Amino acid sequence: MPYRTVTALCVAAWLVSIPAGSVSADRTAEQIRAVQKSVEPSTVIVSFYIERDDGAKADVRVLGTVVGKDNLVMFASAAVPPQFAQSQFKEFKIIVTKGDDLAEHEAEYLGKDDRAQLAFIKVTDSAAPALPALEFDETARVQVGDPLISVANLGEPDGYERVFQMTRIAAEIEQPITTYICMKGLGSPGTPVLTLDGKAVGVVGLVQINRGTNARPQMSLAQVLWPTERFIERIKDPPKGGNVVKQPWLGVQTLTPVTKDLAAYFKLGDRRGVVVGQVIEKSAAEKAGIKAEDIILAVNGKNITGTEGQLVENFSNDIREREVGETVEMEIWRAGKTQKVKVTLAPMPKMVAEAERFRDETFGLTVREMVVGDRLSRELPASETGVVVSFLNPAGWAHDGGLQPGDIIKKVQDQDTPTLAAFKKVFRAEVKKKPKEIVLFVLRGKADTQLVRIEPRW
């Protein structure tokens, strides 16, 4: 859901609210005010709503940044959550603030890139002013101890007042691109991070940090400086048509790190890597000949490195940072010896957000097409078919009949429904007959098959 910075901001308010002449000269305060004056005109509020499955509307307001000509605006992709279909995001606008005045302008949703952690819209209102685009510095380098400025905003009652706050870089982690952890909270996700001399060096990103041990991980979501190199190409070539930018996909899962003990057992010396737990059917990995229990040691001649707690994440990020269609050479250990295989990375399979849906108001039922992720999460074979129940109205006939979210409908009135198109055809035909009951054959969980009898109240 949208990130709203509405508390714990007052500690930084003095950075932007104290009149220039009210205190003794402060070089840092002057620099922050200069950044505020330069950056604030390039920020807008991105406004839209999510049409929930029950028909309710959930309003979203997030801080966006103008990054290209014709008012191209970027904002955090997390504000466009993957559990909703693209068609459920409605009425995109920007809100331009000037003093106490708020002006709305219609915009078109272009799509998102979860790897870059950014989504994009383009203003379509011809009456909208031409807003200055913020340019990101691709050459600037930062290091531990450097001061940074990030941006957040208050809510509508305060006119979406921008808040500029300062922090310092506290640590660097390799994932494999360097990511920077800061001493205290940054601004809103997806918003720019700048140096004191006004160079935009990245945006606020989100990463999983293990604050526990390898044996007992304690994962938490942390705000970080997401460096320019992780997203600059997406600004130059934004998505189109509301699409999700496809990430490269290897097709392996349940990866585990090669620990010191495992390395000693397999006589790998100082080398480390990841153990493949499962190879997904028809994936790039399967086509390349990678098998379960293979140990991947290197990619394109570069060893997989890191602490035990970082090995899997480092390998996964290395693949994620590559391009769809790219061919990589992997060194694997199998049956006591190493060998090399070439893998052409495929696009990520269709996700839940991209799945087509069908909604029947009378029965209070919404179903969607099955995607690869459904089969993997439930350990179902690649040949499994059907449609997935994604929503039930608590007062609807389907709910009263015992249908549950997540059920996979295999048959309607003893007629197979392997695809969404087949389900719609069969279901609509049966509804026209107004039968006393509609019988569904469903798969619940991994192997529980049931008959669900729905008694319509015509």
Task: Report pLDDT digits (tens) over 48-107.
Answer: 999 988 788 999 999 999 999 889 999 999 999 988 888 899 999 999 988 778 999 999
429-445 pLDDT, tens digit each:
999 999 999 999 999 98
Work out whether strand 101-113 and strand 243-244 pair parallel, antiparallel, or are unpaired.
parallel
Q: Which CATH class is domain 1-241?
A: mainly beta
- Give the predicted TM-score (pTM) of the model: 0.83
Q: Give the alpha-carbon dihedral of 64, 67, 72, 74, to 10 degrees.
A: -40
Dump pLDDT digits (tens) for 31-44.
Answer: 999 999 999 999 99
Nearest to 136 by CA among 39, 232, 64: 232
Question: From CA 170, how far away is CA 333, in angstroms rounded?
Answer: 37
Residues pairing with 344 in the sheet: 327
Grade residue 25 by pLDDT with cuts at 50, 70 and 90. low
Span of 17-21, 181-185, 348-352 with lowest mean pLDDT: 17-21
Per-residue pLDDT at 322 exceeds 70: yes
- Mean of pLDDT values over 374-391: 92
**Most distant CA pair in the chain, distance:** 83
Residue extents of the structural domains in the chain: 1-241, 248-347, 355-454
Q: What is the mean pLDDT of the chain?
A: 90
Please report which helix (H) or strand (E) contains residue 260, including its range: helix 260-265
Q: Does domain 248-347 have CATH number 3.40.50.800?
A: no
In the chain, the percentage of residues whose pLDDT exceeds 70 is 94
Q: What is the pLDDT of residues 220-267, one digit of tens each?
A: 888 999 999 999 999 999 999 998 899 999 999 899 999 999 999 999
- In this prediction, residue 209 carries a pLDDT of 80
How does DSSP assign 421-447, residue by residue?
HHHHHHHHHHHHT--S-EEEEEEETTT
Distance CA 235, CA 245 (A): 12
1-241 and 248-347 in the same fold: no
CA distances for 90 relative to 46, 51, 59, 80, 352, angstroms: 12, 7, 10, 11, 18
Does residue 24 surpass a pLDDT of 70? Answer: no
User: Can you give the pLDDT at residue 7?
Assistant: 32
pLDDT for 411 beyond 90: yes
Provide the pLDDT for residue 55.
80
Q: What is the mean pLDDT of residues 182-190?
A: 87
pLDDT for the residue numbered 20: 45
In whole angstroms, give the CA distance from residue 61 to residue 49. Answer: 9
**Beta strands 387-392 and 408-412, pairing class:** antiparallel
Q: What is the mean pLDDT of residues 17-28?
A: 57
Q: Which CATH superfamily is domain 355-454 in?
A: PDZ domain (2.30.42.10)
pLDDT tens for residues 104-160?
Answer: 999 999 999 999 999 999 999 999 999 999 999 999 999 999 999 999 999 999 999
